[in-house]
């Protein structure tokens, strides 16, 4: 069995246009600490950036980031890691309120030690 702890920060830059539309960018950075089978601990960087669109009453972004990481030890087995992120919320009085959903899937690449896993979580957020 393996476990994972993810710590990240989100920075959202928004521009509200006179007609009420919202445009900007959301940058998510941090790290994920994985304790994988065999007891090894691996730290994997998390870095995602998405365009933000919508209106003040419906701020949103969504996207996916894929990478190949070494998940078992410094010379470990490579794995395809797919991270999917979505945000839906609203801008009220200069604060963005909403829900951030994060999902991750990983699977070892062919010819390597076979393992796979996934998980997801949703977070209520406020960004000032």
Q: Give the total number of structural domains in the chain.
A: 1
Asked if residue 19 has pLDDT above 50, the reply is: yes
Identify the domain containing residue 95 by its residue range.
Answer: 3-127
Asked if residue 104 has pLDDT above 70, the reply is: yes
59-84 pLDDT per residue, tens: 888 888 777 666 654 456 677 778 88
Asked if residue 92 has pLDDT above 50, the reply is: yes
pLDDT at position 20: 82
The predicted model scores a pTM of: 0.73
In the sheet that holds 41-55, the strands lie side by side as 3-16, 21-35, 41-55, 58-70, 78-92, 95-108, 116-127
Mean pLDDT for 33-54 is 80
Q: How many distinct helices (H) and strands (E) make up the chain?
A: 0, 7
Calculate the average pLDDT of the chain.
78
Mean pLDDT for 115-122 is 67
Asked if residue 114 has pLDDT above 60, the reply is: no
35-45 pLDDT per residue, tens: 766 677 778 88
Provide the pairing of β-strand 78-92 with 41-55: unpaired
């Amino acid at each position: 069995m393996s476990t994972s702890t993810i710590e990240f920060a989100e920075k959202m830059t928004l521009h509200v246009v006179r007609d009420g539309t919202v445009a900007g960018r959301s940058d998510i950075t941090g790290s994920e600490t994985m304790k994988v089978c065999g007891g090894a601990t691996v730290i994997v960087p998390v870095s995602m950036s998405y365009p933000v669109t919508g209106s003040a009453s419906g701020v949103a972004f969504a996207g996916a980031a894929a990478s190949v990481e070494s998940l078992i030890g410094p010379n470990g087995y490579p794995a395809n890691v797919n991270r999917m992120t979505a945000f839906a919320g609203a801008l009220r009085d200069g604060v963005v309120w909403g829900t951030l959903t994060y999902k991750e899937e990983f699977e070892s690449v062919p010819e390597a030690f076979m393992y796979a896993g996934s998980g997801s979580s949703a977070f209520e957020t406020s960004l000032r």
